[in-house]
Amino acid sequence: MKHTPIHAAPPDRPFTEIEFCAWVAQALPSDRLEYHRGFLVLDTFPLFSRLDDKARDALRKLADRSFHAAEQGLVHLVQERVGPDCFAYIAVARPKPKSAIISLSALLLEEEAA
């Protein structure tokens, strides 16, 4: 099995929801993207997170978008433990639907308009 390298967020800032959508639209099957490193449930919870409100909200949107992409069959979501209470959250691209009429970006962002 060919190992596909992991693409990750730049070290100086977190990955954004828009960057995630762009990656999903361009990713080839089995491409991997580390979209967060930490403990997602705690990092998005106000009482436990070390993030400010704006960063926590952006992370919550990214987490919601990644879950939505998985529900649409565009990615598999996996976690890899990297240390105590620290995980790499990874999206693995699935083959694109051949019968898709609308763009993947529109598919991922359709719930925003609703």
Q: What is the pLDDT of residue 81?
A: 96
Q: Is 79 domain-assigned? A: yes
Q: What is the pLDDT of residue 61?
A: 95
- pTM, rounded to two decimals: 0.76
Q: Is 1 domain-assigned? A: no
- Cα gap 59→56, rounded to integer Å: 5
* pLDDT confidence tier of residue 1, bands split at 50, 70 and 90: very low
Q: Is 101 domain-assigned? A: yes
Q: Torsion angle, CA of 37/43/44/50, rounded to 10 degrees? A: -130
* pLDDT confidence tier of residue 105, bands split at 50, 70 and 90: low
29 vs 3, higher pLDDT = 29
The parent domain of residue 18 ranges over 6-113
Using only the alpha carbons of the chain, give its radius of gyration. 14
Count of domains observed in the chain: 1
Could you report the per-residue pLDDT of 11-69, keeping only the tens digit for each? 567 889 999 999 999 999 999 999 999 999 999 988 888 889 999 999 999 999 999 99
Could you report the per-residue pLDDT of 68-95, keeping only the tens digit for each? 999 999 999 999 999 998 999 999 999 9
Three-state secondary-structure class, residue 16: coil
Three-state secondary-structure class, residue 38: strand
74: nearest Cα among 40, 114, 26: 26
| Residue 22, CA distances (Å) to 39, 69, 87, 114 in order | 24, 12, 23, 20
